[in-house]
Structure 1
Amino acid sequence: MKKDIEIPKVEDIHVAAVREFNEEFRAEEWNVYLINNRHAEIEMVLVVARGKSAKKETSVMRHKLEKLPAHSFAKIEFIQDEVLQLDNEYLVTFFAENKMYEKKFSFKKNSVSLSRIGDLPVIPKKGILAK
């Protein structure tokens, strides 16, 4: 029965967009990171990313991390400026304490901009946290 299924609350896990300089292409770009600010490692991390609007939709991208240690972060993907004009969703699923956790993070269209940059947990760079 649905009422018998325990869905644990996801805490101290974040998705952030960070503006970085790419040395190879000599250009500023947005990269999306997964942040584990928990006191424990998370395992079998799956991230499903997609962008969408009423008229456009991106391909669904899937990313996997075997483990993400406590108080660490990992780059998920580069995100093109054109895609930032869409609503972008990141569905994050992982295991911790022998339980499966899942949470959807999103960046609303045009919400990733230099004017909204601030401090981030764990990452020593400035960026924007997804809601």
Structure 2
Amino acid sequence: MKKDIPVKIVEDVAIAVVLERETPEAKVWNVYLVNLKNEPIETVLVSSKGYGVKNGEDVKTSILRHSIGTVGGQDFAKIEAIDEQVFGLTNEYWLSFYINGHIYDKKFIFLPESIVESNLIRIPVVNKPGVMIG
């Protein structure tokens, strides 16, 4: 039975943690969905959570669910703001969307301490510095 279900591979869609702006006092970070496809993705849903160990104790953030709607081809959508305090945790984003009536889903995981200055790149389409998983 399970072998009869077609596997839909997610390609050309990414999650990026983007540095929006920086002042001497603070940095402002947001998480974006980046659609690198030339076609729109529809009924986009994203759930996010953080987990790990901080100061020797197990830590879990709340699970947040976001209904994004449609994201056009070669476009992006803001998912949520993210605080630097959770960069030491595993940050997980579960994405699902439709293309031509077919559902796709994928889990994106930012490992602890992976969102650091040395990993910043110019995020395509968003055109700002950040860390991206595709």
* TM surpasses 0.5: yes
Identity %: 40
Is residue 129 from structure 1 mapped to residue 128 from structure 2 by the alignment? no
Q: Of 89, 99, 110, which aligns to 1:96?
A: 99
CA contact 2:68–2:79 (8 Å) conserved in 1: no
- Provide structure 2 residue ranges, at least 5 long, that are not aligned to the other structure: none
- Written as runs of structure 1 = structure 2, the 5 A alignment for 1:39-118 is 39-54=38-53, 55-118=58-121
Counterpart for residue 37 of structure 2: 38
Q: Give 1:4's aligned residue.
A: 4
* TM-score normalised over the length of structure 1: 0.92
Q: 1:107 offset after TM fit, Å?
A: 0.5
How much is the aligned-residue C-alpha RMSD, in angstroms? 1.6
Distance in 2 of aligned mates of 1:7 and 1:98: 14
Moved more, 56-65 or 120-129: 120-129
TM-score, normalised to structure 2, is 0.90
Moved over 3 A (4+): none
Partner SS for 1:88 = strand
Offset at residue 22 of structure 1 (A): 7.3
Shift in Å at residue 130 of structure 1?
2.5
Report the Cα distance in structure 1 between the residues aligned to 2:130 and 2:95, rounded to whole angstroms. 19
Structure 1: 5+ residue runs without aligned partners? none
Q: Counterpart of 2:14? A: 14
Q: Indicate conservation of the 8 Å contact 2:17/2:32, yes or no.
A: yes
Three-state SS of the structure 1 residue aligned to 2:86 is helix
